[in-house]
Amino acid sequence: MMNLERLRVLDALARHGSVGGAAEALHVTTSAVSQQLAKLEREAGERLLARHGRGVRLTDAGLLLAGHAARILAQAERARAELEARRGAVAGELRVAAFPTAARGLLPGALAALRTRHPGLRVRSWEVDPGAAVVGVARGDHDLAVVLDWHDRPLAVPEGLRTASLLEDPAEAALPAGHRLAGAVEIDLAELAEEEWITWGAGEFCHEWLLATLRARGVEPDIAHRAPETHTQLALVAAGLGVCVAPALGREPVPAGVVTVPLRPRVSRHVYAVWRGDADRRPAIGAVVGALRAQGAQGGGPG
């Protein structure tokens, strides 16, 4: 009989295209992946992999078995969900991905509450950009992800995934304390047309939103610095090196030397959870969503 975990490794290799990609998705070493695949080849009695340049490719037998593995794993997930639903058990392991400010502002308090209420549940978490997190959930690398839409830029969510709203996250302009607009009641992004900007990494969902939003206001931003984490951006603002858009979630404490000013028109992010439909009945999913919502209602933070 073929081992389910070895089929999971084969499925990860088929989805990610390399031993390294499979190892990263499964959070194991490349050596562990290679050992599991070698054992699976012995169980199958077929060569599943062939050398391809500096990497490997699936043979015809490997592709055939990988197709079956994907279906077997999906059925196993449904079976697990139905068994957990029947028992009403909030238990087992749940892999959660969250974008950086949600990882800071929501996860610590929510996961601490879950550990107290459901000691049989083990949650493992990773910081992941929203777009990559959705792909990871769809692929099965994560069980649940905390992601976001900007008010004017929705995130693409594939069919077969479920979503649940967690909170609305307002964003403001972050300015050096001595900035000419630091005392304003509210400002339009167009008023910052001549500023140097601090933004997220190139290609990240929030960075692409900022570029599109500024250009829609007639502003071609002068991007001076890039940093994926809000507190790094705010430290650069405090040093007088530019301005940024700073959402409220995970923002506190704002460093000395930084002033935040509401934007006109209002700018916000919609934060929500996403998971696969075949896991819909798992009580653990509902428990994690509930804990995240409760933490969001408290204003985030470590709880």
Tens of pLDDT, residue by residue over 183-229, are 999 999 999 999 999 999 888 899 999 999 999 988 899 999 999 88
Any idea what the Cα angle at residue 266 is, between residues 264 and 272, rounded to 5°? Answer: 160
Q: Note the pLDDT of residue 302.
A: 44
Work out the pLDDT band at 148, boundaries 50, 70, 90: very high
| 38 shares its domain with 71 | yes
| 36 shares its domain with 76 | yes
Q: Note the pLDDT of residue 303.
A: 38
Q: Are 134 and 147 in contact (CB under 8 A)?
A: yes
Work out the pLDDT band at 257, boundaries 50, 70, 90: very high
Q: Note the pLDDT of residue 50.
A: 85
CA distance 136 to 148: 15
| 118 shares its domain with 183 | no
Instruction: Inform me whether the pLDDT recorded for 181 exceeds 50.
Output: yes
Dump pLDDT digits (tens) for 49-84: 888 888 888 888 888 888 888 888 777 777 776 666
Number of alpha carbons in the 13 Å side-chain half-sphere of residue 83: 8
| 293 shares its domain with 231 | no
| 129 shares its domain with 253 | no
Work out the pLDDT band at 271, boundaries 50, 70, 90: very high
pLDDT, mean over the chain: 89
Structural domain contains residue 302: no
Tokens describing residue 100: 């950086």
CA distance 289 to 144: 9
Q: Which residues contact 106 (CB under 8 A, 6 or more apart)?
A: 98, 146, 166, 249, 250, 271, 292, 295, 296, 300
| 217 shares its domain with 134 | no
Dump pLDDT digits (tens) for 7-36: 888 888 888 888 888 888 787 888 888 888
Full residue range of the structural domain in which residue 76 is found: 4-85
Q: Are 185 and 297 in contact (CB under 8 A)?
A: no
Q: Which CATH number goes with the domain that contains 179?
A: 3.40.190.10
Q: Which CATH number goes with the domain that contains 16?
A: 1.10.10.10
Work out the pLDDT band at 87, boundaries 50, 70, 90: low
Q: Are 280 and 81 in contact (CB under 8 A)?
A: yes
Domain count, the chain: 3
| 144 shares its domain with 225 | no
| 220 shares its domain with 180 | yes
| 106 shares its domain with 161 | yes
Which one-letter amino acid corresponds to residue 3? N
Instruction: Inform me whether the pLDDT recorded for 93 exceeds 50.
Output: yes
